[in-house]
Amino acid sequence: MTTKQMEYILELAQVLNFNRAAENLYISQPTLTYQIKLAEKEIGFELFARSGKGAALTPAGAQFVGTLRSIYGQLAAAIEQGQNFSAKYAESIRIALPIRSAIYFLPQVISQFSNSYPAVTIVPSFDWKDGQDAFLRGEYDITFAMEYIMKRVPDVICHHLFDSRIYLITERNDPLTKKSLVTPTDLKGRTLMVGGGSPPVLRALQQRMIQEIHVDYFNSPDHDTTLTNVASHRGICLAPGFLNDHNGEFAWLDFDSDVVIPCGVYTHKNDQREALHAFIQLLQHFYIDQPAFKV
């Protein structure tokens, strides 16, 4: 089955009308009908039931299209990356990270690295859930991680970047923004967002605030939901600095705590490419050269 046939099947499954699908695809209706029949002959079952009113997915077709949609998306992305790669580059370094701000200096590092290694492309991918697992499967060359997560993983090398401090996130007009340093007692009478995939040391700090300062709390499933709740005047939260996207929407306040979360990037032990290690060293130097940067 060709990529064009995949595209035709998905479009027809969306509109369920041969004429409209053909118009959307900028092909003739007979061409579309012919290509759909060819695809059905190849796979051995009917995808669409034809009628005077248009088309309807058969039960087998509905199951097939659901899987095909995912495959086609991945294939299209792979083709685009391949086109970029073949046109200009001889080598790639693939990085998995949960959020752009996790490696704040990544754009500057890529720019400087490209001057020394113009034939090597840096390909970042942002994936909260599966990035580290994909790295361990060999789909990425580098992954960002809190070091406690990767502590006992074999055959990887840790390249420490920074120790991320804990900050208090509030709305920009919150009275606490007037303080140069927020203390635990300043949280009295406030509602603290907790949970949301917090690392163990942050969970322990949250629980200490709840038990010792007697703050109210509200369970939040993830960081994005937490920020939505803060913006909705529902509370405040404690978070590691590497999650700060620096877009100015929220106030990230210095919080009086000795809790830090060591963070680094990891490479595969058997990957000894010169370009890879040059990139890692450059990345580390950016953080060493910016000791006052808030993480």
Domains (range + CATH), the chain:
3-86 (1.10.10.10), 89-162+262-288 (3.40.190.10), 164-261 (3.40.190.10)
> Which residue is associated with the tokens 């390249």?
159
d(CA 104, CA 243): 9
Nearest C-alpha neighbor of 4 from the set 43, 41, 31, 44: 31
> Under 8 Å CB-to-CB from 77, ≥6 apart: which residues?
none
The reported pLDDT for the residue numbered 294 is 81
Which segments of the chain have a pLDDT < 50? none
The reported pLDDT for the residue numbered 79 is 76
Q: What is the largest CA-CA distance in the chain?
A: 74
Structure-block tokens of residue 177: 């923004």
Other C-beta atoms closer than 10 Å to the C-beta of 103 total 23
Task: Render pLDDT for 155-203 as a digit per residue (tens, 0 to 9).
Answer: 999 999 999 999 999 999 999 999 999 999 999 999 999 987 788 999 9
> Which residue is associated with the tokens 């003739």?
28
The reported pLDDT for the residue numbered 85 is 63
Structure-block tokens of residue 269: 């032990």
The reported pLDDT for the residue numbered 233 is 94
Contact (Cβ atoms closer than 8 angstroms) between residue 251 and residue 170: yes
The reported pLDDT for the residue numbered 175 is 95
d(CA 267, CA 109): 17
The reported pLDDT for the residue numbered 64 is 93
The reported pLDDT for the residue numbered 118 is 92
Contact (Cβ atoms closer than 8 angstroms) between residue 168 and residue 176: yes
Strands 156-171, 260-268: pairing kind: antiparallel
d(CA 294, CA 290): 9
